[in-house]
Structure 1
Amino acid sequence: MADTQNRYFETELQQLECHFTWALSKDDTDLTDVLNRLEEQIELDLGKKAGVARSYSLIAFVKYLLGSSQEALTYLQKSVELTKECQGEDSERNLIVTYGDLAWLHYHTGDYTQCESYLGKLKDIRERCPTKSTSDLHPEVLGEKGWTFFKFSRKYYDKAKECFKKALEQEPDESEWNAGYAIVLFRTEKENSSPEESPTIQQLRRAIETNQDDAVLKVLLALKLSVYKKFKEADDLVEKALEMSPDSPHVIRYVGKYFRNQGSLDRSTALLKRALDRTPNSAFIHHQLALCYKKKKNNLYSTGSHHSKGAEIRRVRDQCIYHLQKAVALKSSFVSAMSDLALLYGENKEIQEAEDLFQNTFKVAKEKNESLQILNIHYAEFQHYSNRCEPLAVKHYMECLKLGSDTCDGRRSAKKLQKIADKRISRNPEDKLALEIFEFMHKGRQEKRQTTEGYEKDDNGDTNEFLRNLCDSFTRL
């Protein structure tokens, strides 16, 4: 192809809004896991053609990244057919992204005639369906962009949030964008002091207003309300969701999580097993089942019956390990499942297997920059109770605390450190490790005092939240 023609195509293609121009890096995700989740989504969403069409487009891009251009083309053609089928005369704006993908794919495969054809189709759509200004995107494009960022990688959640927000500025009553915005807020929001201050709760209520038939949104709202002990409303929402969609794996898996959080482990386990019958390749459901068995195991220990019920504990632990191994096999970068599994290997006295898996998990977690706090406390507990290495345990309890002192894991680490220090100092008033722990605590208190008096400010002039929470964690012990 002549240089002039090549420059023309590259200029035109770079201006498109599609998967090829949204800077989606395969290094930021596990492509096999993305495919599994999308295929599972398609199986469950067969009645929701617009959602299936969107999934086909993203699958096509993932197939392209994996080197399967012909499969990518097949999925894009399926997406076009389904979009036209469900949108009818209003399909044009919903095809902008898919036509852009087709233009790019034909360019990469050397079919420049087809590439130019799709560029022409997109030009016609822009002329017939102009936006308010050249810098604006159609809400349909913003919505698909938001769902793509959300499904591709946790690293893109903030970008997804921004896309849904912008789409809602143009179409505030659109149920798809309200649901997307609510779900991404659910995944990213930190705990607030009250439900009234929670943007997630407000947005979930708004999303349910725009789509009363979405049972998943009701369960997510229930899960969020339960954090603030609003159990009556949460219980009602869960029962309504089950009544609306008793066989939906999407609903059941979150209801199972809700029941587990409330201590109804048998009911949770039964529901999750039902969901697994429909979606046997769901790493999420396997992980949720593992967490149920983990809680059952811990309950047996806490009742003091571990001597008389040793066989039962081993059975429950084996079930937990089985489901964690399945979750990790299905999703090789599932950090929290890998961490849980390594900890259980330690309990089983498989020390080297545990150590190897922990080191691999640290590598994955650092690359993805996620789940580092829970990983540090799990590794600390492994060193503390299974490998009997208190210095390493102390180091990682401290690392956990530095990553967030006012979280459940941060407070648990603070208590563990205090307990270790008190025990060691009672045996030897000059114990070096105990003194290091006390120095760590004292430094947190001193720096907190300085920040609250206004001596130390961060770049924005705010007090250092970590140090303030660190001191608060220790004073609550």
Structure 2
Amino acid sequence: MSMENDKVLRTKLDQLECHFTWALKKDDMDLNRLDEQFKLDVEKKENPTQIYNALAYVKFLQGFQEEALSNLMTSLKLYKECHEEEFNKSLIVTYGNLAWINYHMKNYTECESYLQKVLKINENMSSESSSVPEVLGEKGWTFRRFSFKYYEKSKECFKKALDLEPEVGKWNAGYAIALYRTEYGEFTIENSPVIKQLRRAIETNPDDDVLKVLLALRLVMYKSYEEAERLVEAALERSPDHPHVLRYAGQFFNNKGSMDRAIALLKNALELSPNTSFIHHQLALCYKMKKIQLLQKGNHHVRGPEVQQIRDQIIYHLEMATTHATGFIKAMSDLALHYGEQHDVSRAEEMFQMTFETAKEKNDNLHVVHFHYAEFQFHCKRDEVLAIKHYMECRKMNPGSYEGKRSENNLKRIAEKRINKNTQDGEAYGILGFIHKEKGEKTQAIECYEKALSYGENDEYLTNLCALRLSI
């Protein structure tokens, strides 16, 4: 094909609505995790044409073009088994993907053929492909499944589809889940957009038990425990073998503190989806909570072997989570911390350095790594100076996160303990100054930095003090 013809063809391909034109960046995804997840989804036979479309694109990114083409042909075959119409708008994405994969394989005749099929569908529509609810729905689903970085885009797509077809259940469900992933503002149970949309989604999808468990998880945030538990128990009764229902129910009972129930449900989910990193991670979190509960009972010497057994379970499930999802930052940094708890300090340090590098490369959860590294320094290496440094980094990066709040509390506890021992500890007042400064409490921050400087010279405290005085 001549360069001029290739340029014309690429212009037409770029105008299509499909995975190849949705700016899905390879660096934003864990392709191995997606590959495993979509294969499991295929077995469930839910939205198979959609799943095969997504799996095809993953295979393309992995460099397996023949497999990508095969998956797309399967998607098309499954659609035709259920529908007679060859030029339905539901096929816009599949035909677009087929045009692109054939272009990359230099099958230009087939590429042009699928382009023509998309054009024929467009001729019968009054709107652009980008405004078709079926396209918006698949786009929203794709953004949600491929990376957390695309959650906002997913929400926008489902909202547009819902504006066009407000009574359609799958758009209501998609928008509800997208909101669940993105909305964490200061709301009441009455005005929470997530709760309102989840209730609406359940109305339009009364048999969707996953939505009920998600609603329960959000209701707990507003202390509506009775309704939440009713929803979870009803979902488990109706869908006892649904892996998503089981894993979210496990998360619910974990949050509630019913660790044995949570672990049992998650193990059931793991039998259905053995290679799911999310479930392994949730099991690790359950065992962590069980370990904390055990340690809080005291008598550590007697309970030592039991605590060690639980710690072994935590490490096993974190290792499995990181094996099945490379680049799982939260699991990686938590695993490094637990290596430290096992007194395997060199292995912990090595794991932390790898996790820091991965988090920086992916721009993903770096504050979590700083928090776990601070915990490692404080509890395993007894290096309070380095712990303080990394708690501060975590607090600066993400103050509203669980790790950010824990870091602030730990810094406050360290500072207050030091002041109780020595009322002239300048560094302790410097820590309190940092906390007040980060919270925007300028007057209190100035007072703390002035105290810190009165007990010893420190250029950082002086710089912060001058900046604060100038800003008032």
Question: Residue in 1 aligned with 2:163?
Answer: 169
Q: Is the 8 A contact 1:401 1:411 kept in 2?
A: yes
Match of 1:18 in 2: 18
CA distance in 2, matches of 1:165, 1:30: 26
Contact 2:87–2:121 (CA under 8 A) maintained in structure 1? no
Cα displacement string for residues 372-421 of structure 1 (whole angstroms, at most 9, x for unaligned residues): 33332221111111011111111111122223444443332222112211
Partner of 2:63: 67
| Inter-CA distance 353–232: structure 2 relative to 1 (3 Å threshold) | same
Distance in 2 between residues matched to 1:168 and 1:259, nearest whole Å: 32
Kindly report which structure 2 residues correspond to 1:61-460, keeping only aligned pairs within 5 A, or say none: 61-89=57-85, 92-131=88-127, 134=128, 136-444=130-438, 447-448=441-442
State the aligned residue count: 445
Given that 1:83 and 1:91 are in contact with CA atoms closer than 8 Å, whether structure 2 keeps it comes out as no
Deviations 1:220-272 (A, max 9, x none): 00000011110111011001101110111111010011011111111111111
CA distance in 2, matches of 1:233, 1:90: 46
Distance in 2 of aligned mates of 1:24 and 1:445 = 36
Distance 1:270 1:446, change over 3 A: closer
The residue number in structure 2 matching 1:31 is 31
How far 1:280 moved relative to its partner? 0.5
Q: Distance in 1 between matches of 2:106 and 2:112?
A: 11
Question: TM-score scaled to structure 1, two decimals?
Answer: 0.89
- Unaligned 5+ segments in structure 2 are 446-472
Q: Is the 8 A contact 1:182 1:204 kept in 2?
A: yes
Structure 2 length normalisation: TM-score? 0.90
- Kept in 2, the 8 Å contact 1:400–1:413? The answer is yes
Contact 1:84–1:91 under 8 Å retained in 2:
no
TM-superposed deviation, 1:17 = 0.7
Residue-by-residue CA offset, 1:17-48 (whole Å, 9 max, x unaligned):
111111111111111111111112222x32x3
Task: Give the Cα separation in 1 of the matches to 2:307 and 2:120.
Answer: 66
Q: Structure 1 unaligned segments of length 5 or more: list them.
A: 452-477
Larger mean CA deviation between 72-81 and 363-372 belongs to 363-372
1:181, CA displacement in angstroms? 1.2
Residue aligning to 2:458: none
Following TM superposition, by how much is the alpha carbon of 1:67 offset from its aligned partner in structure 2, in angstroms? 1.1
**Alpha-carbon separation, structure 1, partners of 2:331 and 2:222:** 26
One-letter identity of the residue aligned with 1:212: P
State the distance in 1 between where 2:101 and 2:398 align: 44
Deviates more, 1:438-447 or 1:372-381: 438-447
Shift of 1:8: 2.2
Q: What is the CA–CA distance in structure 2 between the aligned matches of 1:263 and 1:246, rounded to whole Å?
A: 21
Contact 1:37/1:282, CA 8 A, preserved across alignment: yes
- Determine the structure 1 residue equivalent to 2:8: 8
Asked if 1 retains the 8 angstrom alpha-carbon contact of 2:436 and 2:444, the reply is: no
Partner of 1:57: 53
1:169 is paired with a residue of what secondary structure? helix
SS in 1 for 2:300: coil
Q: Distance in 2 between matches of 1:194 and 1:435?
A: 37
**Which letter does structure 1 place at the counterpart of 2:205?**
N
Deviation digits for residues 419-452 of structure 1 (CA, Å, limit 9, x no counterpart): 211222344444343232133134346655699x
Identical aligned residues as a percent:
53
| Cα distance in 1 between the residues matched to 2:156 and 2:179 | 11
- Equivalent-residue separation in structure 1 for 2:54 and 2:440 (angstroms): 51
User: Structure 1: how far apart are the matches of 2:58 and 2:209?
Assistant: 29
Distance 1:446 1:261, change over 3 A: closer
Alpha-carbon distance in structure 1 between the residues aligned to 2:84 and 2:284:
45
Paired letter, 2:378: H
